[in-house]
Amino acid sequence: MSNTTAPAPTVEIPPRPADLQLDAVDPCTLLTADQLKQLKVDRTRSTTSKSEVFPGAKQCVLNVSAQEPFHDYNISAVTTEGIGPWLTGKRNVEAELVSVGGYGAARYFTPGDGPNSVDCTTTIDVAPGQQLMVSADAVSPLTFTQEQLCQMSEEAAGLALATLRASR
């Protein structure tokens, strides 16, 4: 009987095509009017994160409330940590490495929610120690599958990344 513990899983995050610093970025500027229409967003508001993990991070809440199924997107400019912890087993999430616009990204959700989870997040490795985090959150219960929410967060993250890249 061995007394050793298994090493934490590690994932090689691919190199970025370019560093895109988020320090001076307002997340509410990362989707154009056409992109907001594409996502059916009818209201946006700036806020800051009150989470224990990223307190004070700039956020934009985007509501889809004019027609069902109701849902929200949340875009956060995290400047205090890269995506690594999502992929190493240090967080209580089910995560996988994906690619968004040529950038490495972590796509994750809370385990145990089953096929009718209420959210999924795609967070992109945009610069050393920084991540562009986009979540899709169901407001109407039992309207989206876990996979649909993950596809929605990944699509919105790709749109926000395209706008960020175009602004440089």
Q: What domains are there in the chain, each with its CATH number? A: 27-166 (3.40.1000)
**DSSP H or E segment with residue 130:** strand 130-138
User: Which residues contact residue 25 at a Cβ distance below 8 angstroms, ignoring those fewer than 6 apart?
Assistant: 58, 77, 164
Q: What are the tokens at 48? A: 């800051």
pLDDT at position 67 is 87
Which pLDDT belongs to residue 5?
43
pTM here? 0.90
Q: Which helix (H) or strand (E) holds 166?
A: helix 146-166
Each residue's pLDDT tens digit, 50-74? 888 888 899 999 999 998 899 999 9
Quick one: pLDDT at residue 10? Answer: 63
Adjacency order of strands within the sheet including 103-109: 43-48, 58-64, 71-78, 130-138, 119-127, 103-109, 94-100
What's the number of CA atoms in the CB half-sphere (13 Å) around residue 47? 13
pLDDT (0 to 100) of residue 106 = 97
Report, as ranges of residue numbers, the positions in the chain whose pLDDT lies below 50.
1-9
